[in-house]
Amino acid sequence: MDTSLFTANNLWMMLCIALVFIMHLGFSFLEIGLTRAKNTINILFKNIIIIIIGLLTYTVIGFSIMYPGEAFEGSWIGFKSFGLVLPEDGLAISYAEGKYTYWTEFLFQAMFAATAATIVSGAVAERIKLGSFILFSLVYVGLIYPIVGMWKWGGGFLETLGFYDFAGSTIVHSVGGWAALMAVILLGPRIGKFKKGISGVIPGHNLPLATAGVFLLWFGWFGFNGGSVLSAEPGATSLVLVTTCLAAAAGGLGAFTFSYIKYKENDLSMLLNGILGGLVAITAGADQMGVLSAIVIGFFAGILIVFAVVWLDKLKLDDPVGAISVHLVCGIWGTLAVGLFGALASWSQFLHQVYGILIVAAFCCATSFGILFLIKKTMGIRVSKREEIEGLDIHEHGMQAYADFRLNEH
């Protein structure tokens, strides 16, 4: 074994683990910034508990479902064993023509696991019961996400088919996005969001904090996509970082430009979500795209953000942070873009991408709706009207995020 290459790969992957971990702080800042002060602690609590649930369930069962071994290649589901079991060749594992430790591989994949539930957290903010959300996250992160991940990254049937998703536009972001859509449908809108059939604006309480969250997410995405090269190979990692960064910038420009044309306003929240939309869209093919393709993919993702927000409002679906627009709509676009741009572009590849999107959509919609519907019929999923008006911080946690906070009527 080339010990210098082994060390370089392992150090790079450990750095990427840290970058992906910091994304959870970005999600937290974004969510609390775009929602009201009276629900700040509740949102922070959810984002922290998701990491705890994700790490522990992925350790006990998720990792073995997602990477069950060669015996399950081409399968729909597999399982190796409970807990973590070292490979036969010891600590080192081979991946992407490089090597790094088994523990590094596990922790990098575990960082991804909680992201799907984090996406749902933003969409259901300000009206979901904490206990119900925790129970849903436990099942969705522990079972549903690893099963879908196995289909592609664990050598399952989507990998055999030829479906391509480099770092998770579908496998991570759409998995969370479909669940977010089902949750929003079952929960209903926040009080005061739609009055006499017209969508109203419920402004977030701290746009500077939301902006900081987006910068942290953009920063963390270098690890999210860069680490998905699964080695420290200079050419591949450099290309991925460039396409990722350019798509983010183009996404922000697309959302800003189109929202200004449509509303004649310089909307900061649209700009922020446009950046995230570009990041989500490039994630499926960041290693396959050139500079121009990355810019085009990101720019159209930003435009799609504006369309998606309007479309959801017309359907009276209340998503306080734009999670569905960013992660689901742009996740679908980015996955389709693999068949339209870059090294893999072809009609057959496009059809593979469509098939993968539809299969994941059907599975995630059915399972997330089923889990949430069962919870709704047993323990309930929505807080009472009084709790929602007065704030979840007081009723779910018995405390306030800001000492001088004064309750507004809504």
The structure's pTM equals 0.92
Q: Is the pLDDT of residue 213 over 90?
A: yes
Residue 406 domain-assigned (yes or no): no
Is 349 domain-assigned?
yes
* pLDDT confidence tier of residue 115, bands split at 50, 70 and 90: confident
Number of domains in the chain: 1
Predicted confidence band of residue 105 (pLDDT cuts 50, 70, 90): confident
Q: Is residue 222 part of a domain?
A: yes
Question: 207 lies in a domain?
Answer: yes
What CATH number is attached to the domain comprising 86? 1.10.3430.10
Mean pLDDT of the chain, nearest integer: 90
Asked whether residue 410 is domain-assigned, the answer is no
Does a structural domain hold residue 313? yes
C-alpha to C-alpha distance for 140 and 370, rounded to whole angstroms: 11
pLDDT band at 240 (very low <50, low <70, confident <90, very high): very high
Q: What is the pLDDT of residue 95?
A: 56
Domain that holds residue 265: 3-397
Q: What is the pLDDT of residue 406?
A: 60
Q: pLDDT tens for residues 137-190? A: 999 999 999 999 999 998 899 999 999 999 999 999 999 999 999 999 999 999
Report the pLDDT value the prediction gives residue 350, as an integer from 0 to 100: 96
pLDDT at residue 8, as a whole number: 86
Residue 97 pLDDT exceeds 70: no
For residue 403, tell me if it sits in a domain.
no
- Does residue 408 sit within a domain? no
Q: Is the pLDDT of residue 256 over 90?
A: yes
